[in-house]
Structure 1
Protein backbone atom coordinates (compact mmCIF):
# COMPACT_ATOMS: atom_id res chain seq x y z
CA UNK A 1 0.00 0.00 0.00
CA UNK A 2 2.82 2.40 0.91
CA UNK A 3 4.69 1.51 -2.29
CA UNK A 4 1.61 2.41 -4.33
CA UNK A 5 1.35 5.85 -2.65
CA UNK A 6 5.00 6.66 -3.22
CA UNK A 7 4.70 5.67 -6.89
CA UNK A 8 1.66 7.91 -7.41
CA UNK A 9 3.38 10.82 -5.73
CA UNK A 10 6.48 10.34 -7.88
CA UNK A 11 4.36 10.24 -11.02
CA UNK A 12 2.70 13.51 -10.06
CA UNK A 13 6.06 15.21 -9.50
CA UNK A 14 7.35 13.87 -12.82
CA UNK A 15 4.28 15.19 -14.67
CA UNK A 16 4.73 18.67 -13.18
CA UNK A 17 8.41 18.67 -14.16
CA UNK A 18 7.60 17.71 -17.76
CA UNK A 19 4.90 20.38 -17.99
CA UNK A 20 7.26 23.04 -16.63
CA UNK A 21 9.96 22.05 -19.12
CA UNK A 22 7.49 22.23 -22.01
CA UNK A 23 6.31 25.70 -20.98
CA UNK A 24 9.89 26.94 -20.66
CA UNK A 25 10.78 25.60 -24.10
CA UNK A 26 7.76 27.30 -25.67
CA UNK A 27 8.63 30.68 -24.19
CA UNK A 28 12.25 30.53 -25.33
CA UNK A 29 11.17 30.21 -28.97
CA UNK A 30 8.38 32.80 -28.89
CA UNK A 31 8.60 35.72 -31.31
CA UNK A 32 5.90 37.64 -29.48
CA UNK A 33 7.52 37.94 -26.06
CA UNK A 34 7.95 41.44 -24.67
CA UNK A 35 11.73 41.13 -24.33
CA UNK A 36 14.63 39.34 -25.95
CA UNK A 37 16.03 36.86 -23.47
CA UNK A 38 16.74 33.65 -25.34
CA UNK A 39 13.89 34.05 -27.81
CA UNK A 40 13.64 35.20 -31.40
CA UNK A 41 11.61 37.90 -33.10
CA UNK A 42 10.39 37.67 -36.68
CA UNK A 43 10.22 40.94 -38.60
CA UNK A 44 8.79 41.39 -42.09
CA UNK A 45 10.87 43.28 -44.64
CA UNK A 46 11.30 43.49 -48.40
CA UNK A 47 14.10 41.47 -49.98
CA UNK A 48 14.37 43.35 -53.29
CA UNK A 49 14.45 47.06 -52.50
CA UNK A 50 17.96 48.57 -52.65
CA UNK A 51 18.38 51.31 -50.07
CA UNK A 52 15.41 50.04 -48.03
CA UNK A 53 15.33 46.27 -47.72
CA UNK A 54 17.69 44.10 -49.73
CA UNK A 55 18.89 40.54 -49.20
CA UNK A 56 22.52 40.25 -50.20
CA UNK A 57 23.97 37.18 -51.98
CA UNK A 58 25.75 36.19 -48.74
CA UNK A 59 22.43 36.12 -46.85
CA UNK A 60 22.85 39.39 -44.96
CA UNK A 61 20.41 42.32 -45.20
CA UNK A 62 20.87 46.03 -45.87
CA UNK A 63 18.78 49.17 -46.22
CA UNK A 64 17.08 51.85 -44.18
CA UNK A 65 14.08 49.65 -43.29
CA UNK A 66 16.49 46.98 -42.07
CA UNK A 67 18.27 49.53 -39.90
CA UNK A 68 14.97 50.81 -38.48
CA UNK A 69 13.79 47.28 -37.75
CA UNK A 70 17.06 46.41 -36.03
CA UNK A 71 16.99 49.56 -33.91
CA UNK A 72 13.37 49.04 -32.87
CA UNK A 73 13.98 45.38 -32.04
CA UNK A 74 16.92 46.47 -29.90
CA UNK A 75 14.68 48.80 -27.91
CA UNK A 76 12.26 45.89 -27.43
CA UNK A 77 15.08 43.84 -25.94
CA UNK A 78 16.33 41.81 -28.90
CA UNK A 79 19.92 41.56 -30.10
CA UNK A 80 20.60 41.48 -33.87
CA UNK A 81 21.36 37.76 -33.57
CA UNK A 82 17.81 37.20 -32.28
CA UNK A 83 16.16 38.81 -35.32
CA UNK A 84 14.79 36.66 -38.11
CA UNK A 85 13.93 38.71 -41.19
CA UNK A 86 11.00 37.34 -43.18
CA UNK A 87 10.21 38.40 -46.76
CA UNK A 88 6.80 40.07 -46.93
CA UNK A 89 5.75 41.19 -50.39
CA UNK A 90 3.28 44.04 -50.81
CA UNK A 91 0.27 41.84 -51.51
CA UNK A 92 0.81 39.65 -48.42
CA UNK A 93 1.66 42.13 -45.68
CA UNK A 94 -1.77 42.22 -44.02
CA UNK A 95 -2.08 38.43 -44.15
CA UNK A 96 1.38 37.94 -42.67
CA UNK A 97 0.39 40.02 -39.65
CA UNK A 98 -3.03 38.44 -39.17
CA UNK A 99 -1.52 34.94 -39.38
CA UNK A 100 1.14 35.85 -36.86
CA UNK A 101 3.99 35.06 -39.27
CA UNK A 102 5.83 38.17 -38.04
CA UNK A 103 5.69 40.45 -35.01
CA UNK A 104 5.81 43.62 -37.10
CA UNK A 105 6.58 44.76 -40.65
CA UNK A 106 9.04 47.45 -41.79
CA UNK A 107 8.72 47.32 -45.57
CA UNK A 108 8.04 50.71 -47.20
CA UNK A 109 4.52 50.19 -45.82
CA UNK A 110 2.50 53.34 -46.55
CA UNK A 111 -0.17 54.15 -43.98
CA UNK A 112 -3.61 54.37 -45.62
CA UNK A 113 -7.16 54.45 -44.27
CA UNK A 114 -7.93 51.18 -46.04
CA UNK A 115 -4.96 49.39 -44.52
CA UNK A 116 -5.76 50.73 -41.06
CA UNK A 117 -8.97 48.71 -41.19
CA UNK A 118 -6.86 45.54 -41.20
CA UNK A 119 -3.69 46.38 -39.28
CA UNK A 120 -2.40 48.92 -36.78
CA UNK A 121 0.54 51.21 -37.52
CA UNK A 122 3.33 52.73 -35.51
CA UNK A 123 5.04 55.82 -36.92
CA UNK A 124 5.29 57.20 -39.50
CA UNK A 125 9.09 56.96 -39.53
CA UNK A 126 9.69 58.24 -43.10
CA UNK A 127 7.96 60.44 -45.67
CA UNK A 128 8.40 59.49 -49.32
CA UNK A 129 6.61 60.62 -52.48
CA UNK A 130 5.31 58.65 -55.44
CA UNK A 131 7.29 59.32 -58.59
CA UNK A 132 8.11 57.89 -62.02
CA UNK A 133 11.35 56.27 -63.11
CA UNK A 134 12.05 56.39 -66.85
CA UNK A 135 14.99 55.92 -69.17
CA UNK A 136 17.40 58.83 -69.31
CA UNK A 137 16.36 59.78 -72.85
CA UNK A 138 12.61 59.31 -72.28
CA UNK A 139 10.19 61.99 -73.46
CA UNK A 140 7.82 61.27 -70.55
CA UNK A 141 7.77 64.32 -68.29
CA UNK A 142 4.49 64.10 -66.38
CA UNK A 143 1.79 61.63 -65.40
CA UNK A 144 -0.56 62.32 -68.31
CA UNK A 145 2.24 61.46 -70.75
CA UNK A 146 1.69 57.82 -69.77
CA UNK A 147 -1.55 57.55 -71.78
CA UNK A 148 -0.85 54.86 -74.38
CA UNK A 149 2.45 53.95 -72.72
CA UNK A 150 3.43 50.80 -70.80
CA UNK A 151 3.73 51.25 -67.06
CA UNK A 152 5.10 48.71 -64.58
CA UNK A 153 4.21 48.44 -60.90
CA UNK A 154 3.93 45.79 -58.20
CA UNK A 155 0.84 43.78 -57.32
CA UNK A 156 -0.78 45.16 -54.18
CA UNK A 157 0.85 48.58 -54.42
CA UNK A 158 -1.27 51.74 -54.24
CA UNK A 159 0.97 53.55 -56.76
CA UNK A 160 -0.52 52.00 -59.90
CA UNK A 161 -4.05 52.91 -58.84
CA UNK A 162 -3.09 56.58 -58.62
CA UNK A 163 -1.46 56.61 -62.05
CA UNK A 164 -4.51 55.00 -63.67
CA UNK A 165 -6.58 57.94 -62.41
CA UNK A 166 -4.10 60.40 -63.91
CA UNK A 167 -3.65 58.49 -67.19
CA UNK A 168 -6.71 56.26 -67.77
CA UNK A 169 -5.33 54.93 -71.07
CA UNK A 170 -2.06 53.69 -69.61
CA UNK A 171 -1.17 50.05 -70.30
CA UNK A 172 -0.49 48.68 -66.81
CA UNK A 173 1.71 45.67 -66.17
CA UNK A 174 1.97 44.34 -62.60
CA UNK A 175 4.81 42.14 -61.37
CA UNK A 176 5.46 40.42 -58.05
CA UNK A 177 8.53 42.53 -57.30
CA UNK A 178 10.27 45.77 -58.31
CA UNK A 179 13.34 43.96 -59.62
CA UNK A 180 11.29 42.57 -62.49
CA UNK A 181 9.93 46.03 -63.26
CA UNK A 182 13.39 47.59 -63.39
CA UNK A 183 14.63 44.83 -65.69
CA UNK A 184 11.60 45.43 -67.95
CA UNK A 185 12.35 49.15 -68.02
CA UNK A 186 15.96 48.51 -68.93
CA UNK A 187 15.01 46.15 -71.77
CA UNK A 188 12.34 48.49 -73.14
CA UNK A 189 9.45 46.15 -72.37
CA UNK A 190 7.86 49.01 -70.39
CA UNK A 191 8.21 52.76 -70.62
CA UNK A 192 8.07 53.72 -66.95
CA UNK A 193 8.04 52.35 -63.43
CA UNK A 194 6.07 53.92 -60.62
CA UNK A 195 6.42 53.63 -56.87
CA UNK A 196 7.91 55.70 -54.07
CA UNK A 197 10.88 57.92 -54.92
CA UNK A 198 12.94 56.32 -52.14
CA UNK A 199 12.61 52.90 -53.80
CA UNK A 200 13.24 54.25 -57.29
CA UNK A 201 16.34 56.13 -56.12
CA UNK A 202 17.71 52.92 -54.65
CA UNK A 203 17.40 51.09 -57.96
CA UNK A 204 18.70 53.97 -60.06
CA UNK A 205 21.88 54.10 -57.96
CA UNK A 206 22.75 50.40 -58.39
CA UNK A 207 25.95 49.83 -60.35
CA UNK A 208 24.27 47.85 -63.16
CA UNK A 209 21.74 50.65 -63.74
CA UNK A 210 23.74 53.75 -62.89
CA UNK A 211 23.29 56.51 -65.47
CA UNK A 212 20.52 54.70 -67.38
CA UNK A 213 17.44 56.09 -65.60
CA UNK A 214 16.10 59.33 -64.21
CA UNK A 215 13.55 60.29 -61.57
CA UNK A 216 11.01 62.87 -62.73
CA UNK A 217 10.56 64.41 -59.25
CA UNK A 218 6.79 64.70 -59.61
CA UNK A 219 5.85 64.14 -55.94
CA UNK A 220 2.52 62.61 -56.95
CA UNK A 221 1.63 61.69 -53.38
CA UNK A 222 2.77 61.69 -49.79
CA UNK A 223 3.71 58.20 -48.61
CA UNK A 224 3.90 57.98 -44.83
CA UNK A 225 5.91 54.83 -44.05
CA UNK A 226 4.61 53.10 -40.96
CA UNK A 227 5.49 49.94 -39.08
CA UNK A 228 2.65 47.44 -39.45
CA UNK A 229 1.47 45.58 -36.34
CA UNK A 230 -1.30 43.03 -35.87
CA UNK A 231 -4.68 44.69 -35.40
CA UNK A 232 -5.39 45.34 -31.73
CA UNK A 233 -1.80 45.03 -30.49
CA UNK A 234 -1.72 48.52 -28.98
CA UNK A 235 1.04 47.67 -26.53
CA UNK A 236 3.49 46.85 -29.32
CA UNK A 237 2.50 49.96 -31.28
CA UNK A 238 3.27 52.14 -28.25
CA UNK A 239 6.64 50.48 -27.66
CA UNK A 240 7.62 50.90 -31.30
CA UNK A 241 6.60 54.56 -31.28
CA UNK A 242 8.81 55.14 -28.24
CA UNK A 243 11.68 53.44 -30.04
CA UNK A 244 11.20 55.58 -33.17
CA UNK A 245 11.21 58.77 -31.10
CA UNK A 246 14.49 57.68 -29.54
CA UNK A 247 15.94 56.88 -32.95
CA UNK A 248 15.23 60.41 -34.17
CA UNK A 249 16.36 62.17 -31.00
CA UNK A 250 19.70 60.34 -30.65
CA UNK A 251 20.71 61.02 -34.26
CA UNK A 252 20.55 57.42 -35.47
CA UNK A 253 17.66 58.15 -37.86
CA UNK A 254 19.57 60.82 -39.78
CA UNK A 255 22.77 58.77 -39.84
CA UNK A 256 20.99 55.74 -41.27
CA UNK A 257 19.10 57.79 -43.88
CA UNK A 258 22.30 59.37 -45.17
CA UNK A 259 24.09 56.02 -45.18
CA UNK A 260 21.41 54.33 -47.30
CA UNK A 261 20.21 57.15 -49.57
CA UNK A 262 23.21 59.47 -49.76
CA UNK A 263 24.93 57.70 -52.68
CA UNK A 264 21.85 58.27 -54.88
CA UNK A 265 21.72 62.03 -54.17
CA UNK A 266 18.19 61.48 -52.91
CA UNK A 267 16.71 64.60 -51.31
CA UNK A 268 14.85 63.11 -48.38
CA UNK A 269 12.33 64.82 -46.15
CA UNK A 270 13.08 65.58 -42.47
CA UNK A 271 12.02 62.95 -39.94
CA UNK A 272 8.22 63.06 -39.57
CA UNK A 273 6.59 63.52 -36.19
CA UNK A 274 5.48 60.20 -34.77
CA UNK A 275 1.70 59.90 -35.00
CA UNK A 276 1.31 62.75 -37.50
CA UNK A 277 0.25 61.76 -41.01
CA UNK A 278 1.16 64.18 -43.82
CA UNK A 279 -1.77 64.34 -46.23
Structure 2
Protein backbone atom coordinates (compact mmCIF):
# COMPACT_ATOMS: atom_id res chain seq x y z
CA UNK A 1 0.00 0.00 0.00
CA UNK A 2 1.50 3.33 -1.07
CA UNK A 3 1.54 6.26 1.33
CA UNK A 4 1.76 9.92 0.24
CA UNK A 5 4.54 11.97 1.76
CA UNK A 6 3.62 13.61 5.06
CA UNK A 7 4.29 17.20 3.91
CA UNK A 8 2.05 16.68 0.88
CA UNK A 9 -0.77 15.17 2.93
CA UNK A 10 -0.62 17.87 5.57
CA UNK A 11 -0.46 20.65 3.02
CA UNK A 12 -3.48 19.19 1.23
CA UNK A 13 -5.42 18.98 4.46
CA UNK A 14 -4.63 22.60 5.27
CA UNK A 15 -5.91 23.83 1.91
CA UNK A 16 -9.07 21.73 2.18
CA UNK A 17 -9.76 22.99 5.69
CA UNK A 18 -9.61 26.52 4.39
CA UNK A 19 -11.98 25.63 1.57
CA UNK A 20 -14.51 24.07 3.93
CA UNK A 21 -14.38 27.15 6.14
CA UNK A 22 -15.17 29.31 3.13
CA UNK A 23 -11.88 31.20 2.89
CA UNK A 24 -8.50 30.80 1.24
CA UNK A 25 -5.32 30.13 3.20
CA UNK A 26 -3.55 33.28 4.30
CA UNK A 27 -0.03 34.03 5.42
CA UNK A 28 -0.92 36.94 7.66
CA UNK A 29 0.51 36.94 11.16
CA UNK A 30 -1.90 35.57 13.79
CA UNK A 31 -3.83 38.12 15.78
CA UNK A 32 -3.23 38.25 19.54
CA UNK A 33 -6.82 37.27 20.35
CA UNK A 34 -9.75 35.44 18.77
CA UNK A 35 -11.39 38.66 17.59
CA UNK A 36 -13.10 41.88 18.59
CA UNK A 37 -15.04 41.44 21.80
CA UNK A 38 -13.73 37.91 22.28
CA UNK A 39 -12.00 38.39 25.59
CA UNK A 40 -12.10 36.21 28.66
CA UNK A 41 -13.87 38.96 30.57
CA UNK A 42 -16.62 39.41 27.97
CA UNK A 43 -17.40 35.81 26.98
CA UNK A 44 -20.73 34.44 28.33
CA UNK A 45 -19.38 31.10 29.61
CA UNK A 46 -21.19 28.76 31.99
CA UNK A 47 -18.92 29.92 34.80
CA UNK A 48 -17.43 33.41 34.72
CA UNK A 49 -13.69 33.28 34.07
CA UNK A 50 -13.78 29.55 33.29
CA UNK A 51 -14.21 27.54 30.10
CA UNK A 52 -16.11 24.26 30.33
CA UNK A 53 -15.25 21.80 27.56
CA UNK A 54 -17.30 18.65 26.97
CA UNK A 55 -16.30 15.27 25.58
CA UNK A 56 -17.41 11.64 25.79
CA UNK A 57 -16.50 9.00 28.36
CA UNK A 58 -14.44 7.07 27.51
CA UNK A 59 -12.43 9.48 25.38
CA UNK A 60 -10.43 7.48 22.84
CA UNK A 61 -6.92 7.82 21.45
CA UNK A 62 -5.60 9.33 19.26
CA UNK A 63 -8.01 12.14 20.12
CA UNK A 64 -7.20 11.85 23.84
CA UNK A 65 -4.73 9.83 25.86
CA UNK A 66 -5.47 7.54 28.82
CA UNK A 67 -9.10 8.77 28.91
CA UNK A 68 -7.86 11.96 30.57
CA UNK A 69 -8.84 14.97 28.45
CA UNK A 70 -7.41 17.28 31.07
CA UNK A 71 -3.83 16.13 30.40
CA UNK A 72 -3.58 18.02 27.09
CA UNK A 73 -2.45 14.91 25.22
CA UNK A 74 -4.12 13.66 22.06
CA UNK A 75 -5.25 15.74 19.10
CA UNK A 76 -8.59 16.98 20.41
CA UNK A 77 -7.38 17.67 23.92
CA UNK A 78 -4.54 19.72 22.43
CA UNK A 79 -6.95 21.57 20.11
CA UNK A 80 -9.29 22.37 23.01
CA UNK A 81 -6.48 23.88 25.05
CA UNK A 82 -5.20 25.80 22.01
CA UNK A 83 -8.65 27.31 21.48
CA UNK A 84 -8.89 28.12 25.17
CA UNK A 85 -5.52 29.87 25.09
CA UNK A 86 -6.56 31.81 22.00
CA UNK A 87 -9.61 33.03 23.92
CA UNK A 88 -7.48 34.07 26.88
CA UNK A 89 -7.97 31.10 29.21
CA UNK A 90 -5.06 29.52 31.03
CA UNK A 91 -4.93 25.74 31.41
CA UNK A 92 -6.19 26.04 34.99
CA UNK A 93 -9.23 27.96 33.71
CA UNK A 94 -10.41 24.94 31.67
CA UNK A 95 -12.70 22.32 33.20
CA UNK A 96 -14.05 19.19 31.51
CA UNK A 97 -17.57 17.77 31.45
CA UNK A 98 -18.35 14.22 30.32
CA UNK A 99 -21.28 14.14 27.89
CA UNK A 100 -22.44 11.23 25.71
CA UNK A 101 -22.14 11.82 21.98
CA UNK A 102 -25.87 11.48 21.28
CA UNK A 103 -26.81 13.76 24.19
CA UNK A 104 -24.46 16.46 22.97
CA UNK A 105 -25.98 16.63 19.48
CA UNK A 106 -29.58 16.57 20.79
CA UNK A 107 -31.56 19.82 21.14
CA UNK A 108 -31.63 21.52 24.52
CA UNK A 109 -29.38 23.38 26.98
CA UNK A 110 -25.80 22.14 27.28
CA UNK A 111 -23.61 21.48 30.29
CA UNK A 112 -20.56 22.82 28.42
CA UNK A 113 -19.38 25.91 26.59
CA UNK A 114 -18.21 23.81 23.67
CA UNK A 115 -17.83 20.07 23.12
CA UNK A 116 -15.03 18.40 21.16
CA UNK A 117 -15.78 14.80 20.26
CA UNK A 118 -15.29 14.16 16.54
CA UNK A 119 -18.56 15.88 15.66
CA UNK A 120 -18.96 16.01 11.90
CA UNK A 121 -20.58 19.23 10.71
CA UNK A 122 -23.89 18.40 9.02
CA UNK A 123 -26.89 20.48 8.00
CA UNK A 124 -29.18 18.21 10.01
CA UNK A 125 -27.21 18.69 13.21
CA UNK A 126 -27.06 22.45 12.65
CA UNK A 127 -30.81 22.53 13.17
CA UNK A 128 -30.22 21.68 16.84
CA UNK A 129 -26.71 22.94 17.65
CA UNK A 130 -24.03 25.39 16.52
CA UNK A 131 -20.64 24.43 15.09
CA UNK A 132 -17.36 26.28 14.95
CA UNK A 133 -15.24 26.57 11.84
CA UNK A 134 -13.78 23.11 11.03
CA UNK A 135 -10.61 22.04 12.79
CA UNK A 136 -10.09 18.68 11.05
CA UNK A 137 -11.02 16.98 7.78
CA UNK A 138 -12.11 13.38 8.22
CA UNK A 139 -12.23 10.25 6.11
CA UNK A 140 -14.24 7.15 6.92
CA UNK A 141 -12.44 3.82 6.78
CA UNK A 142 -13.40 0.14 6.71
CA UNK A 143 -11.46 -2.20 8.99
CA UNK A 144 -11.78 -5.98 9.24
CA UNK A 145 -10.13 -8.96 10.86
CA UNK A 146 -7.26 -10.26 8.77
CA UNK A 147 -9.21 -13.51 8.48
CA UNK A 148 -12.34 -11.73 7.19
CA UNK A 149 -13.64 -12.34 3.70
CA UNK A 150 -13.28 -8.61 2.92
CA UNK A 151 -9.65 -8.28 4.06
CA UNK A 152 -7.54 -7.25 1.08
CA UNK A 153 -10.51 -6.12 -1.00
CA UNK A 154 -10.05 -2.94 -3.00
CA UNK A 155 -13.45 -1.83 -4.28
CA UNK A 156 -16.85 -0.84 -2.95
CA UNK A 157 -18.34 -3.59 -5.10
CA UNK A 158 -16.31 -6.11 -3.07
CA UNK A 159 -18.19 -4.97 0.05
CA UNK A 160 -21.75 -5.27 -1.27
CA UNK A 161 -22.35 -8.64 0.38
CA UNK A 162 -20.46 -7.80 3.57
CA UNK A 163 -22.10 -7.39 6.95
CA UNK A 164 -20.90 -3.96 8.12
CA UNK A 165 -21.39 -2.08 11.37
CA UNK A 166 -20.84 1.33 12.98
CA UNK A 167 -21.73 3.38 16.04
CA UNK A 168 -25.28 4.71 16.01
CA UNK A 169 -25.87 8.29 14.92
CA UNK A 170 -22.43 8.76 13.38
CA UNK A 171 -21.29 9.66 9.88
CA UNK A 172 -19.48 6.31 9.87
CA UNK A 173 -22.92 4.72 9.75
CA UNK A 174 -23.97 7.21 7.08
CA UNK A 175 -20.95 6.23 4.97
CA UNK A 176 -22.22 2.66 4.96
CA UNK A 177 -25.76 3.54 3.93
CA UNK A 178 -24.98 6.36 1.48
CA UNK A 179 -21.67 5.34 -0.11
CA UNK A 180 -20.90 1.65 0.38
CA UNK A 181 -24.58 0.61 0.15
CA UNK A 182 -24.27 -3.05 1.15
CA UNK A 183 -27.04 -5.44 0.26
CA UNK A 184 -27.81 -6.16 3.91
CA UNK A 185 -28.88 -3.74 6.62
CA UNK A 186 -25.90 -2.36 8.59
CA UNK A 187 -25.51 -3.26 12.25
CA UNK A 188 -25.62 -0.37 14.72
CA UNK A 189 -24.00 -0.15 18.15
CA UNK A 190 -24.31 2.21 21.09
CA UNK A 191 -20.54 2.69 21.30
CA UNK A 192 -17.35 1.90 19.43
CA UNK A 193 -16.51 -0.53 22.24
CA UNK A 194 -19.62 -2.58 21.42
CA UNK A 195 -18.83 -2.39 17.71
CA UNK A 196 -15.24 -3.55 18.24
CA UNK A 197 -16.45 -6.52 20.27
CA UNK A 198 -18.79 -7.47 17.44
CA UNK A 199 -15.88 -7.31 15.00
CA UNK A 200 -13.67 -9.45 17.25
CA UNK A 201 -16.45 -12.00 17.73
CA UNK A 202 -17.04 -12.30 13.98
CA UNK A 203 -20.58 -10.89 14.20
CA UNK A 204 -19.74 -8.42 11.44
CA UNK A 205 -17.33 -8.61 8.51
CA UNK A 206 -16.18 -5.03 8.78
CA UNK A 207 -16.40 -1.96 10.99
CA UNK A 208 -16.50 1.62 9.70
CA UNK A 209 -14.70 4.28 11.74
CA UNK A 210 -12.72 7.43 10.97
CA UNK A 211 -9.19 6.95 9.69
CA UNK A 212 -7.17 7.93 12.80
CA UNK A 213 -9.32 5.68 14.96
CA UNK A 214 -8.86 2.89 12.41
CA UNK A 215 -5.10 3.15 12.75
CA UNK A 216 -5.33 3.04 16.53
CA UNK A 217 -7.71 0.06 16.61
CA UNK A 218 -5.62 -1.96 14.18
CA UNK A 219 -2.31 -0.90 15.68
CA UNK A 220 -2.97 -1.04 19.40
CA UNK A 221 -6.33 -2.56 20.28
CA UNK A 222 -7.04 -5.33 17.76
CA UNK A 223 -3.73 -6.21 16.08
CA UNK A 224 -5.43 -9.08 14.28
CA UNK A 225 -7.47 -6.46 12.38
CA UNK A 226 -6.41 -4.57 9.28
CA UNK A 227 -7.49 -1.50 7.30
CA UNK A 228 -9.43 -2.48 4.19
CA UNK A 229 -9.55 1.03 2.73
CA UNK A 230 -10.91 4.54 2.84
CA UNK A 231 -14.45 5.32 1.76
CA UNK A 232 -14.50 7.91 -1.06
CA UNK A 233 -15.46 11.46 -0.18
CA UNK A 234 -18.75 12.64 -1.61
CA UNK A 235 -19.18 16.36 -2.24
CA UNK A 236 -17.65 18.78 0.27
CA UNK A 237 -15.10 17.03 2.49
CA UNK A 238 -16.51 15.98 5.84
CA UNK A 239 -15.06 18.00 8.71
CA UNK A 240 -15.07 18.05 12.48
CA UNK A 241 -16.22 21.19 14.31
CA UNK A 242 -16.51 22.22 17.94
CA UNK A 243 -20.14 21.85 19.03
CA UNK A 244 -21.97 24.60 20.92
CA UNK A 245 -25.49 25.26 22.12
CA UNK A 246 -27.83 26.54 19.41
CA UNK A 247 -27.39 30.30 18.95
CA UNK A 248 -24.66 30.35 21.58
CA UNK A 249 -23.12 33.70 22.37
CA UNK A 250 -19.75 31.97 22.11
CA UNK A 251 -20.03 30.60 18.56
CA UNK A 252 -18.53 33.58 16.73
CA UNK A 253 -15.54 33.88 19.06
CA UNK A 254 -14.85 30.14 19.15
CA UNK A 255 -15.00 30.00 15.34
CA UNK A 256 -12.62 32.93 15.06
CA UNK A 257 -10.23 31.19 17.46
CA UNK A 258 -10.27 28.00 15.35
CA UNK A 259 -9.72 30.00 12.15
CA UNK A 260 -6.81 31.88 13.72
CA UNK A 261 -5.23 28.59 14.80
CA UNK A 262 -5.59 27.22 11.29
CA UNK A 263 -4.12 30.36 9.69
CA UNK A 264 -1.20 30.32 12.14
CA UNK A 265 -0.41 26.70 11.23
CA UNK A 266 -1.16 25.47 14.75
CA UNK A 267 -3.77 22.94 13.67
CA UNK A 268 -1.35 21.49 11.11
CA UNK A 269 1.31 21.18 13.80
CA UNK A 270 -1.09 19.42 16.17
CA UNK A 271 -2.25 17.11 13.38
CA UNK A 272 1.37 16.28 12.57
CA UNK A 273 2.08 15.51 16.22
CA UNK A 274 -1.01 13.46 17.07
CA UNK A 275 -2.52 12.21 13.78
CA UNK A 276 0.36 11.97 11.30
CA UNK A 277 0.10 8.18 11.24
CA UNK A 278 -3.33 8.56 9.60
CA UNK A 279 -1.90 10.23 6.47
CA UNK A 280 -2.63 7.64 3.82
CA UNK A 281 -4.59 4.45 3.22
CA UNK A 282 -5.79 2.90 -0.01
CA UNK A 283 -9.07 4.38 -1.21
CA UNK A 284 -11.85 1.98 -2.09
CA UNK A 285 -12.85 2.53 -5.72
Considering the TM-score relative to the shorter chain, is it more than 0.5? yes
Residue 175 of structure 2 is aligned to residue 162 of structure 1 = yes
Q: Give the equivalent residue in structure 2 for 1:230.
A: 245
* Matches for 1:27-38 after TM superposition, within 5 Å: 31-32=45-46, 36=49
Instruction: Provide, for residues 25-59 of structure 1, a one-character-per-residue CA deviation record: whole Å limited to 9, x for no partner.
Output: xx9xx9435x73xxx32212233432113543798
User: Any conservation in 2 of the 1:44–1:85 contact (CA below 8 Å)?
Assistant: yes
Q: Residue 131 of structure 1 contacts residue 197 of structure 1 at CA under 8 Å; is this kept in 2?
A: yes
Residue 176 of structure 1 pairs with residue 187 of structure 2: no
Cα shift readout 1:74-102 (whole Å, capped 9, x = no counterpart): 2223222232222333322223x732211
Q: Which moved more, 1:222-231 or 1:159-168?
A: 159-168
Q: Which residue of 2 aligns with 1:112?
A: 122
The range that moved more, 82-91 or 139-148, is 139-148
| Mapping 1:18-167, distance limit 5 Å | 31-32=45-46, 36=49, 40-46=50-56, 47-56=58-67, 60=71, 62-95=73-106, 98-140=108-150, 141=153, 142-165=155-178, 166-167=180-181
Shift in Å at residue 218 of structure 1?
2.9
Which has the higher Rg, Structure 1 or Structure 2?
1
CA distance in 1, matches of 2:69, 2:262: 30
Match of 1:22 in 2: none
- Aligned match of 2:200: 186
Say which SS state the counterpart of residue 213 (structure 2) adopts: helix
Kept in 1: contact 2:136–2:241 (CA 8 A): yes
- Higher-strand-fraction structure: 1
Task: Output the TM-score relative to the length of structure 1.
Answer: 0.71
Q: Distance in 1 between matches of 2:89 and 2:69?
A: 23
Matched with 2:19 is none
The Cα offsets for residues 179-216 of structure 1, whole Å up to 9 and x where unpaired, read as 2222322332221111322332232232x434632141
User: In the aligned structure 2, how far is the partner of 1:168 from the partner of 1:156?
Assistant: 18
Distance 1:213 1:168, change over 3 A: closer
> For residues 53 and 230 of structure 1, do their structure 2 counterparts lie closer, same or farther at Cα, with a shift above 3 Å needed?
same
Matched residue count? 232
Is the 1:202–1:261 Cα contact (8 Å) retained in structure 2? no
Runs of 4+ in 1 over 4 A off after TM superposition: 57-61
Segments of structure 1 that go 5 or more residues without pairing to the other structure are 1-26, 269-279
Higher relative contact order, chain-length normalized (CA < 8 Å, sep 6+): 2
Kept in 2, the 8 Å contact 1:48–1:178? The answer is no
Aligned twin of 2:268: 254
Gaps of 5+ in 2: 1-40
Which structure is higher in helix share?
Answer: 1
TM-score, normalised via structure 2 length: 0.70
Give the equivalent residue in structure 1 for 2:257.
Answer: 243
